[in-house]
Chains A and B, each alone.
Chain A
Amino acid sequence: MNAVRAKLDWFEAVILPHQAALRARLRRLTRSADELDDRVAEVLARAYATREWERIDAGRSFLFAIARNLMIDEARRSKIVAFEAIADLDRLQSDSDLEAQLHARDELRLVQTIVERLPPKPRRVFLSRRVQEKSPSEIAEEMGLSVSTVEKHLARAVGHLTEAMAKCEEAGFERGHGGCRRETGGETGRAATHRGSGRNPVRTGDAEP
């Protein structure tokens, strides 16, 4: 077994499904959007850097524990300690590990939403590459673009999808806005309006490669 591959698989299967929950929790403890991004990134990097990864199968509590430590470190370093911040750390106690993961159906709906919202060129490039499995040079020729422009469009599309998946909890995204609910801080109500509203029959599980 390839060690790097195995660790990445662990990270994608055990850790990343909980990053949106981590983000939602940290959002309430963080003032600016940039600060939130930095903290989430730091927690994820620490999670990946752990040596004992093979023993960790509860991603949610693991991430929350790292986040707690990070917040405590930060509080120690800063001269002024906000009492609310310390009290809020209790929000980083994990509840059920199975809650708030993005499930197969939601995942497809999320992908659909993001793809629908893409500008025409990145969208066409993405679909040609990912669904029709055309090569970048083939796509470049068809669209009259350079290969490097095709790659830029593809990166843009994938970047958006990646970001949406990182920020959206189960049922937490809305079709109208694409992506997720807005990150304006404060308490986040759960938007569950689009659960089960898919118009098309969706195969789940079986569609796995």
Chain B
Amino acid sequence: MRNPDGPERAEAERWVEERPDHAVAFAQVERAWRAADRLKALPETHPVLDTARPQPAAAQAAWRPTRRQMIGGGALAASLAMLAGLPVAWNRFAGQNYETGIGERRDVRLADGSILHLNTATRLRVRLDADRRALDLVAGEASFDVAHDTARPFDVAVGALTVRAVGTRFDIRRGPQGAELTVTEGKVAVRRGDAVIGYAAAGEGAALQGTVAAFARLDAAAVDRRTAWRQDLIELDGATIAQAVAEFNRYRDKPLVVGDARVAGLRVGGRFDTRDAERFVAALRQSFPVRTAERADGATLLLYGANGAP
């Protein structure tokens, strides 16, 4: 029953795809079924949940066979049978996918008026429901200009944590070691399931790792650095060359590779265009004992020593 790719699912898909009215019937029934899930949030003693309570007289009087059913009995039964058989596999988060390739940057306006700014190599899933705006930052980095709507919280899932905003502006960057949250306007709540584990307001940020979050105040320069990509800039302020190279490589197919430990630890500063690592490399060669060589796969090696010297 719970096998996500079991025969029930294939069967259900066939039936749904057979005719548009099947799909409409199934979607209608599923929506009602999901709505009824809200009953579970009521206290057990709520009168609505009392199965022994008699039908109110007024309802009895109004209870006459309807002239005809909106959804035919056959379609209703089929939809219900499918729902009973496979809610787990089919009910997972789904929605619209937005992606950017390496070096690509993209802005997306959502139906609710919010604007998403996707940085390089990013995957973001979006689902706008009547009561919630649910996003999932699967990979990469994005900034969110959230349209104000108190009735529909704006939730960005980052692994096991969720960042919730109502009307605000913030940035999340996912990396191999976790994610970095930067709030530039308003305030967000970081949640684990239904529990709020902390808040970050404008000028604050958090490191999100697994199920924990560490909050910190950021100075204005740090906020600027973290959001510089929206102007296609990389701002370096005393970063090591290894860190700077990692930053540029997010935007490049053919990476820069630090080929010598003596190079890796040198510190650099300055503003560079994300799309123009060549200029960064030129600046390195000018200011440091760094030379470059091209590897067979197109990667640029950064080596120690003056150009031309071995």
Contact = CB atoms under 8 A, between A and B. Distances in A.
Interface stretch (A6-14, A86-94, A186-194): A6-14
Contact of A165 (B20, B24, B32, B68): B32
A158 B43 contact: no
Interface stretch (B123-131, B216-224, B274-282, B295-303): B123-131
Interface residues of A, number: 76
B38 A4 contact: no
Interface in A120-134: 120, 123-124, 126-128, 130-131
Contact of A54 (B77, B96, B153): B96
Interface stretch (B51-59, B174-182, B205-213, B249-257): B51-59
A103 B132 contact: no
A57 interface: yes
A70 B76 CA distance: 26
Interface stretch (B87-95, B233-241, B265-273, B283-291): B87-95
A205 B24 contact: no
Interface string A10-46: 1111111100000000000000011001000100111
A41 B38 contact: no
A107 to B, nearest CB: 5
Contacts of B20: 45-46, 48-49
A9 B48 contact: no
Given A6-B94, A41-B21, A203-B41, A16 B33 contact: no
Contact of A200 (B43, B84, B129): B43
How many chain B residues sit at the interface, stated as a range, is 35 or more
B62 A45 contact: no
B127 A45 contact: no
Contact of B76 (A17, A41, A110, A158): A158
Contact of B48 (A41, A115, A164, A207): A115
B119 to A, nearest CB: 22
B93 to A, nearest CB: 9
A119 B37 contact: no
B38 A116 contact: no
Given A45-B24, A111-B35, A208-B131, A117 B56 contact: yes
Top 5 nearest A-B pairs (CB, nearest first) are: A104-B131, A207-B41, A117-B59, A57-B111, A45-B20
Given A117-B56, A119-B55, A178-B59, 12 more contacts: A1-B97, A8-B27, A12-B30, A15-B27, A45-B24, A108-B38, A123-B51, A159-B69, A162-B29, A176-B58, A202-B42, A208-B37
Interface of A: 1-2, 4-17, 33-34, 37, 41, 44-46, 48-49, 54, 57-58, 97-98, 101-104, 107-108, 110-112, 115-120, 123-124, 126-128, 130-131, 136, 151, 154-155, 158-159, 161-166, 176-178, 200, 202-209
26 contacts: A5-B94, A11-B24, A12-B30, A12-B34, A13-B129, A48-B23, A48-B27, A104-B151, A111-B38, A111-B39, A116-B56, A117-B55, A119-B60, A120-B51, A120-B54, A130-B33, A131-B39, A151-B77, A159-B76, A163-B71, A202-B42, A205-B132, A207-B38, A207-B40, A208-B37, A209-B91
